[in-house]
Structure 1
Amino acid sequence: MTGSTGSTPSPSRRNRRRTVGAVAVLAAAAVTASFALTLDGSDTGGKKAGEPAAVTGSADPAPAPADPGLLALARRDASDPLAVGRADAPVVLIEYSDFQCPFCGRFARETKPELLRSYVDKGVLRIEWRNFPIFGEESERAALAGWAAGRQKKFWEFHDVAYGKPRERNSGAFDAENVIAMAREAGVADIERFQADMASEQARNAVLQDQEEGYNLGVTSTPAFLVNGKPILGAQPTDTFEEAVESAAKTAKAAKEAGR
């Protein structure tokens, strides 16, 4: 799932079992990804950086449902601190991200706030985070820190602090001292518990579970998304996500009315 537009590839290859059907769907998403803007605007097809990219399939009045296996990846756990939105929302966006990924930061700062206002707050969309650290020790530490912040119901506050500004990768921005400072800024009350949670086997297993889920899908770059099981690659323009959510909501409504 390596994207040349708006996504950051993993620096290493891993020989892992793939879910064949999912890989086929994700590979097809590369066609859509080719319309996305790059972070520096180098592949914009003559457009200026910041202009919306073309989106295929937006005129389809009755989009086909996604693969059931991909739909089933939505956990819909009402107690999940790494999710926001109603557990029974008609649309679920699953996000595979790394706190050191600049494209993930771009999505967090530019697109996610719009999705929260327009869809999550209205009960249409649920966003479920998956830790997908790919850039080494600092990425792994940041993932563990985010999970630990979630244990005190401060994951999204930590998320906003971590992505609040661009940070140079593997520069010490996510060293042990700095993630504690981020946790304090995010409002994590019990720092001793935060540190213990970060170091726990439960934290490592939770991050590993997310990673394995992504690798089994064929994810090799960040950010990567599934919107009701349909893939979007990279930090594409907000319009792309809005159209995907609205299309998924339309499909979900039609399925509900048909009694499926």
Structure 2
Amino acid sequence: MSALSPETMPTDPPPSASPSREAELERRVRRWRLTSLVLAVVTAFLAVVVAGQLSGPPAAPTAPPEAGDTATRDTAPEATASGAVPDLARRVDGDPMAVGAVDAPVVLIEWFDYRCPFCAAHAVRTLPLIVDEYVDAGLVRIEYHDVVFFGDDSLAAAVAGRAAAAQGRFHEFVEVLFAAAPSSGHPDMPRERLVGFAEQAGVPDIATFTADLDDPALHEAVVTSTRAAQRLGITSVPFFVAGGSALAGAQPVETFRLLLDEKVAAAAR
């Protein structure tokens, strides 16, 4: 999920380079990309703080290049983006887009797009283990931020998620939607499919849910969430922050355990 442009990318090694030399260059490039990403996230946030209202209104959210999503294909530990980032936890009691105790020692924040296959993979494979081992134990709270990175259907799905949240079924809706996600690509989200997900998730008032799909306030809330993510320099999903460190991509549960164990221990000191 590097923010580098093709013009600033390191060039390939010359054809005459030895295999060992090529491997070393590749390792250096990988480290350089990681460092650049961390600096980009922190710098973007500081720029927003310093600029304040001088920057004017943000532009409407637009989808990033597909590479922003496919960059999360590399789930090796070296793909993790770790660095100092600000405390973005909401810690609002009764927040429908959060799970876990409001006073849990650590808050794990996730940015996700409903049409992102890697967000789905995380939700299906890794999230249940995190909830079982950390959230249910009172150690971690998870707070979600929806973003629109893959077009109008992503916006429609995010509005639907908020409509389900208004009836206390956000987590169930997300679980049903991601369980039906393909292993690759960005699935279509027509209205009838979103209503079907709501029915499966047990949303009690489907008529109200359907009407809320056209609620301008919910649309604007999703747009605002996306703009905030863009200001932070987040250009691909899933993306996570916990205790001042960032984690990029659908990482294996072991990687989350290392991060969360460290943050829980630090909070206890």
Superposition TM-score, scaled by structure 1 size: 0.73
State the partner residue of 2:44: 18
Determine helix, strand or coil for the equivalent of 2:44. coil
Amino acid corresponding to residue 202 of structure 1 in structure 2: A
Is contact 1:97-1:223 (8 Å) kept? yes
State the partner residue of 2:108: 93
CA drift at 1:137: 1.1
State the partner residue of 1:257: none
Number of residue pairs matched by the alignment: 210
Greater percentage in helix: 2
Is contact 2:101-2:140 (8 Å) kept? yes
Determine helix, strand or coil for the equivalent of 1:222. coil
State the partner residue of 2:25: none
Is contact 2:115-2:187 (8 Å) kept? no
TM alignment of 1:239-254, pairs within 5 A: 239-254=254-269
Give distance in 2, aligned partners of 1:169 and 1:198: 24
Give distance in 1, aligned partners of 2:148 and 2:167: 21
Question: CA, structure 1 residues 235+170, in 2 after alignment: closer, same or farther (shift >3 Å)?
Answer: closer
TM alignment of 1:205-224, pairs within 5 A: 205-224=220-239
Is contact 1:105-1:166 (8 Å) kept? yes
Question: CA, structure 1 residues 139+252, in 2 after alignment: closer, same or farther (shift >3 Å)?
Answer: same
Question: CA, structure 1 residues 38+128, in 2 after alignment: closer, same or farther (shift >3 Å)?
Answer: closer
Structure 2: which 5+ residue stretches go unaligned? 5-29, 31-42, 49-70
Determine helix, strand or coil for the equivalent of 1:179. helix
Give distance in 1, aligned partners of 2:187 and 2:259: 35
CA drift at 1:38: 6.0
Give distance in 2, aligned partners of 1:201 and 1:128: 23
TM alignment of 1:158-173, pairs within 5 A: 158-167=173-182, 169=185, 171-172=187-188
Amino acid corresponding to residue 153 of structure 1 in structure 2: G
Cα displacement string for residues 126-160 of structure 1 (whole angstroms, at most 9, x for unaligned residues): 11110012110111111000010000000000000
Give distance in 1, aligned partners of 2:137 and 2:165: 23
Structure 1: which 5+ residue stretches go unaligned? 6-16, 23-36, 45-51, 57-63, 255-260
Percent of aligned positions that are identical: 38
Residue of 169, 172, 178 corresponding to 1:157: 172
Give distance in 1, aligned partners of 2:148 and 2:2: 15
